[in-house]
A and B are shown apart, each in its own frame.
Chain A
Amino acid sequence: MDAATVADGVRGQRRPIPIWLVIWAVALLLTAALYLFQQLWPWAVTYPEAWTVPLRFWVSDFMKWLINSFDLGLFTFKEFTRSIAWLLQWPLDFAGGLLASGFKLAWGEEAEWFIPRLSWLAVTAVVILIGYQSGGIRLALLVGGCFLYLVIFGQWDSAMVTLSSIVIAVPIGVVLGVFIGILGFRSRRAERLIVPILDLMQTVPVFAYLVPVLFLFGFGPVAAMVATIIYATPPMVRCAMLSLKQVPTEIVEFGQMVGCSRRQLLWKIQIPSARPTLMVGVNQVIMLSLNMVIIASMIGAGGLGFDVLSSLKRLRIGEGIEAGVAITVLAIALDRISQGFANRPPSEQRDRPDSFIARYPYTTIALGIVIITSLAGTFIEGLHTFPERLQVTTGTWWNDLVSWININFFDELEAIKTWLLLNVLIPVKRFLLVLPWLAVVGMVGLAGYQLGGWRLALFTGSLALFMAVTGNWEKSMISVYLCGISVIIAALIGIPIGIYSARHERAHRVVQVVVDTLQTLPSFVYLIPVVMLFRVGDFSAMIAVVAYALAPAIRYTDHGIRQIPPSLVEAGKAFGCSRRQMLWKVQLPIALPEIMLGINQVIMMALAMLVITALVGTRDLGQEVYIALTKADTGRGIVAGLCVAFIAMISDRLISAWAQRKKKEFGLA
């Protein structure tokens, strides 16, 4: 939000509260009146079908034109995207060959040469070495343990397919992100264009743009990678813009004073100084790429994602969990390595010896390991491909566990579920569905006005209107209902856990691990057991959403309380606050803005899960997007995807405006 709206917000806060109470009361009365006298204005209650703007058909037509007829002069748009795909294919094939499939070289018609992939021993050893370089012996052990899991649990082949696409997608995403970030940093106008696009990229569900991606980039791993890059790059762009802006002016001035050209200034001064924040971006790209593994496998990326899907389709829950954990394990290893590099002292060599070996000791060792293990692997097969008979699986144990719970506790679970469903879920859903659309649009605008002035009101109001106008009102309201309830439950569970973990160091450590796992374990893994225990429907969807969206509620609460200036806590102690008083009177109120940002994240993640919940049979925007995907209906998917994005944006802007105001009040901004 810009200065004007914030200023409006500040002014708003000075208005006496009772006026707002009155205004809201009037708004609610009007809503009730609309509902009660709906015969008078039926169009204000249910959006008339005749008024629907056929946007989805326009989008579809536009895409058709883009794909079939858009000519850039020398070549068509599709040829352009296809040649990008062709370019991307090369590194992908190379990484795939190196890690997963080996290289098959054909000469003429008859002869073929085969170079095998790197052995598990070589890859693990190199990764351990990287871990050691990035974070010392502890990290080396952790990373080694992660990769040994992949070996021992027989996940190696798939994990390497996944890893090979990650190691290509991440650098591309990072480089692309940095360049776009630089563009946005250098030109205000570019920034104004980029930021809303980033908002959309992060909130429109991936499924919505899979179809056009497939059309433009062809079926196969490259399309999956393109989708991954689209999904994973935005945080990198944001981090790049932010970090470049955060470089102290003095350092930039220093660069100017020694006579740096623009380019020197950027590459020798600004980028290196921005490195810590840039690394946060890299880390985000890695994590988001891994989040995409399942969806990518639906359009041909293969690897662990495919294993998860196919085992769960066959109800081999255990195998699915093992493959899912493999994704988590891979994510943890890559996450910790990248964090290690981010926190490590700068990498410049203090003295540069002349010999290659002394100058690049790690590279040399790594090369040595690769050569030695490859040779050894030629003679001893087990060193190249881990013998199957030594592999372990816990698959049946998980299956038995789910069956056992199913047989012994189903009735209890069913009772809880039924109660919640009949007393909470269904009434809320019905209530939201009967609300007149006009009133809802109005109230969303009103909230925008109260929190951020006219501009925000216009913004939120028109986004809400979009849902009605494109004929997605009912589905949007069901999405709001499902996400809303899930968010409330996630907050009710997450905030207390966050508070507890902020005040107990040991609990904090345990909670961190759980939170990391929740965020990286593909939701599909727990979706199927949940369906077995709670049947297809809204309740299962809600549980899946809560499980996925819980993490930020915990994390932000924990962080919010921890970041309270110690002087405030000391002041509280000096006044003789008990622990309980300290929490309620000091810590919580001050941490509130941060907690609200956490809730904001919870909402974002809940909306991100909407599409996944369509897999267990909800009837919301997620389902609309999913249907569009399977019917290859571009327009339908994108319009529904935009509705999801707009719900996200409305809540994001409202909450941010609110939190901004509060932070200002507390002088924490």
Chain B
Amino acid sequence: MKAYCRSVFLAALLASGTALGAAPESKDPIKLTIHDWTGQYITTHIMGRVLEEMGYNVEYQQADYIAQFAGLESGDLHVAMEMWETTGKQAMDESLKTGKTVDLGETGMKAIEEWWYPLYMKEKCPGLPDWKALNDCAEAFSTPETHPKGRYLGGPVTWAGFDDERAEALGLDYEVVHAGTDAALFAEIQSAYERKAPILAWVYTPHWAPIKFKGEWVEFPRYSEECYNDPKWGMNTEKAYDCGKPRGWIKKVGWKDGEAKWPCAYQAVRNFTISNQAMGEMVGEVDLDGKKVDDVVENWIKNNEDTWTKWTQCS
């Protein structure tokens, strides 16, 4: 609002796009989707700020992570900044097949998603992080409802983590409980962490949780595509999913026809990359230090001008 007030009442502004040389091809707003986790909010706003610097009009649109594909295909939405291989690959592939969306390349961040426990649990279960130790400590991880089995708190069913299958394939004495949402998942982790209570749950990064809570990921047999597709692969020859989760790319996706409409903007989106490290720090600043997202983004823009001006090069 402050910015508005400085320009209160009919203040004329010069469009700043000319500063970077290339005028935008269209003044129509480019709609970037935002979801409900901080990291995505930051990546999207960094991208948005850069596009604004290039002279484009940008709008942010709240949309569901998977449901947004309908909007991207119809052109209601234009760019989605974070599509995780681990959770969104299937939906993305399906959408790309329609020919109405386009893969805009990787963000440079690597997603890690796996069974996670806080460090204090290592004392109760010294064999960790090796997954083979899990069964010995099942009781340590149990709750009254699951006793004597251990309790593993998985993500929402829509995240497609195949944890029920994994537990079965690897013969783990654990009951998989699904949190309804990301929020519920981390609420429970926080609650347990405060009490130093046992917890084994699905944690992913980039996210504030692994920064805030000291912990480790369980080490499962390494993921491979065959493991998921071929039951014979791995230690359990009858079942698939006898391995850990894939660690994968995080990609950008866009509306196909937008490429022709805003070629330079799409070029810049393609060029966008950021490291896990940098992202993790920003997420931490927002979620742990309580800074405002916009301030953190503005800060990054100020300090990394060299980086993002390179993205804006357009031929």
Contacts and interface: CB of A to CB of B under 8 A. Distances in A.
A532 B153 contact: no
A538 B231 CA distance: 34
Nearest to B177: A536
Contacts of A215: 70, 74
Interface string A485-529: 000000000000000000000000000000000000000000111
Interface stretch (A165-173, A311-319, A463-471, A476-484): A311-319
Interface stretch (A44-52, A106-114, A574-582, A591-599): A106-114
Nearest to B24: A109
A378 B6 CA distance: 9
B264 interface: no
B5 A301 contact: no
Interface string A94-122: 00000000100010011111111100000
B180 A403 contact: no
Contact of B180 (A113, A315, A384, A617): A617
A531 interface: yes
Interface in B14-69: 14-15, 23, 27, 31, 33, 36-38, 41, 61-69
B8 A623 contact: no
Contact of A220 (B61, B157, B183, B197): B61
A366 interface: no
Contacts of B195: 406-407, 410
B307 interface: no
Interface residues of B, number: 64
A314 B67 contact: no
Interface in A368-397: 377-378, 381, 384-385
Interface string B71-105: 10010110000000000000100000000000000
A613 interface: yes
A313 B158 contact: no
Contact of B61 (A300, A426, A533, A629): A300
Interface residues of A, number: 70
A385 B5 contact: yes
B301 interface: no
A618 B68 contact: no
Contact of B8 (A116, A312, A422): A116
A306 interface: yes
A435 interface: no
A159 to B, nearest CB: 13
A615 interface: yes
B201 to A, nearest CB: 9
Contacts of B38: 313-314
Interface string B181-221: 11111111011001101000000000010000000000000
Nearest to A528: B187
A300 B180 contact: no
B158 A537 contact: no
Nearest to B6: A381
A66 interface: no
A301 B186 CA distance: 25
B268 to A, nearest CB: 21
Nearest to B38: A314
A532 B263 CA distance: 47
Nearest to B59: A220
Nearest to A109: B15
A111 B12 contact: yes
Nearest to B212: A315
Contacts of A626: 158, 180
Contact of A116 (B9, B12, B15, B197): B9
Contacts of A403: 194
Q: Which of A219, A298, A414 has the most CB of B within 10 A?
A: A219
Contacts of A211: 67, 70
B180 A618 contact: yes
B184 A299 contact: no
B11 interface: yes
Contacts of A614: 180
A306 B144 contact: no
Given A528-B183, A536-B180, A617-B177, A116 B5 contact: yes
B69 A632 contact: yes
Contacts of B71: 214, 218-219
Contacts of A184: none
A6 to B, nearest CB: 42
B158 A630 contact: yes
A407 B61 CA distance: 39
A214 B72 CA distance: 12
A569 interface: no
A113 B182 contact: no
B260 interface: no
A83 to B, nearest CB: 14
Interface string A282-323: 000000000000000111111000100110111110000000
B11 A114 contact: yes
B5 A617 contact: no
Interface string A603-646: 00000000001111111000100110111100000000000000
Contacts of B70: 211, 214-215, 632
A560 to B, nearest CB: 36
A140 to B, nearest CB: 27
A136 to B, nearest CB: 33
B10 A113 contact: yes
B61 A531 contact: no
Contact of A315 (B7, B186, B286): B186
Interface of B: 1-2, 4-5, 7-15, 23, 27, 31, 33, 36-38, 41, 61-71, 74, 76-77, 91, 143-145, 153, 156-158, 177-188, 190-191, 194-195, 197, 208, 286-287, 290
17 contacts: A114-B9, A157-B1, A215-B74, A298-B62, A298-B64, A312-B187, A377-B8, A378-B8, A414-B144, A528-B184, A529-B187, A535-B191, A619-B178, A623-B157, A630-B67, A630-B158, A631-B66
Given A112-B12, A218-B74, A313-B38, 4 more contacts: A314-B38, A314-B286, A630-B64, A631-B91
A-B interface, 9 closest residue pairs, ranked by CB to CB distance from nearest = A532-B191, A615-B180, A219-B71, A300-B62, A617-B180, A418-B144, A218-B76, A531-B187, A385-B1
